[in-house]
Amino acid sequence: MNTSSWLPRAALLAPALLLGSSMASGAGIPSHPANAQAVRPAACPAPVAFGSLPTFAHINGADDITVGQDGNVWITNVTGNQVTELNAQGRLVKTFADARNPEGVIQLPAGQFALAEQRSDRVVVFDPVRNTKQVWVQLTANGNLGVDGLGLEPGMLLLPDAAQGRLDTVPLPPFSGGPKVVASNLGRPVAAAPVGDGTILVAVENRPGLDRVNPNTGQVTAIGSFGSLDEVLVRNGIAYVADLSTGQLDAVNLASGAVSVLVTGAGAPQGLTFRPDGHLLLVDENSGNVAVATACA
């Protein structure tokens, strides 16, 4: 991910963002949602250095990552204008060119992929079988870096509008409705994941780093304090976040707020996804290495 043109804007926005978060905290999000499931305390592994983790693959300029329904792994290279498909063992299957700076990628229920194209600030439906792309959502460019990561929940694409500082939702399947803004003034949102209780976690490349959004009210509540997050996943009440400011992979207990460091020493931790076996794949864009990390039990 290219962050060079964002950092000055983040410094200017930070005081307003922090004020907004402090005013917003607590209201509008039920402390015990009726549809939330009880989560047992998680046992997280001790921190390990990125360089000591098993290497799954090496892709120059690797950025975002996702695992498809067949177990194959998809990796984008935003500056190299390429999407790479690997098999479950990390061996090359095929590469696809994309001149519009491919970023976030996630598979849709019908089998195609939602693919963020940062330079054009849009999301396309990518069909790797036919090697075709169809524009799905065209966002409004404003001089800031365009769309980055994507998320998915049942029936909905989670679309952080990085340039505008907003979180949008878009109904599935594709082309069944336009984007709806559910939160604003986030700074530079770059990833989103459903919590499972109706709220959505959003990773932002500015403080506080991690926000919890109630899409029904627009309420935004800061979770912890991070410098610059690039990715967020949620499983069993734990948020896994890739922290660009520290080079770490952290686990955040959403019930207690406790933060456990899982991985240290990643030069630029970017893409993050779960494998079918429950392990995490973590991308370091600087080295191009994709490593296998252990999640909390």
Contacts 24+ apart (CB under 8 A), 54-58: 54/291, 54/292, 55/289, 55/290, 55/291, 55/292, 56/90, 56/281, 56/290, 56/291, 56/292, 57/86, 57/90, 57/289, 57/290, 58/287, 58/288, 58/289, 58/290
Q: Domains, the chain, ranges and CATH? A: 7-24+48-293 (2.120.10.30)
Using pLDDT thresholds of 50, 70 and 90, give the confidence band for residue 53.
very high
Find the radius of gyration of the CA atoms of the chain: 18
pLDDT tens digits along 170-213: 999 999 999 999 999 999 999 999 999 999 999 999 999 999 99
Amino acid at 197: D
Distances (CA, A) of 34 to 29, 37, 38, 156: 12, 8, 11, 21
Neighbouring residues of 31: CB distance < 8 A, sequence distance ≥ 6: none
Q: Is the dihedral of CA 17, 181, 128, 280 positive or negative?
A: positive
pLDDT at 17 over 90: no
Residue 56 confidence (pLDDT)? 98
What is the average per-residue pLDDT within 110-133? 98
Question: How many degrees, rounded to 5, is the angle at CA 268 between CA 170 and CA 104?
Answer: 20
What is the average per-residue pLDDT within 36-55? 80
Hey, how many other C-beta atoms are within 10 angstroms of the C-beta on 197? 18
Residue 27 confidence (pLDDT)? 32
pLDDT tens digits along 244-291: 999 999 999 999 999 999 999 999 999 999 999 999 999 999 999 999
pLDDT tens digits along 63-104: 999 999 999 999 999 999 999 999 999 999 999 999 999 999
pLDDT at 9 over 60: no
Amino acid at 232: V
Q: Write a three-state SS string for the chain.
A: CCCCCCHHHHHHHHHHHHHHHHHHCCCCCCCCCCCCCCCCCCCCCCCEEHHHCCEEEECCCCCCEEECCCCCEEEEECCCCEEEEECCCCCEEEEEECCCCEEEEEECCCCCEEEEECCCCEEEEEECCCCEEEEEEECCCCCCCCCCCCEEECCEEEEEECCCCEEEEEECCCCCCCCEEEECCCCCEEEEEECCCCCEEEEECCCCCEEEEECCCCEEEECCCCCCEEEEEEECCEEEEEECCCCEEEEEECCCCCEEEEEECCCCEEEEEECCCCCEEEEECCCCEEEEECCCC
Question: How many degrees, rounded to 5, is the angle at CA 70 between CA 148 and CA 117?
Answer: 20
CA 214, CA 159: separation in Å to the nearest integer?
Answer: 15
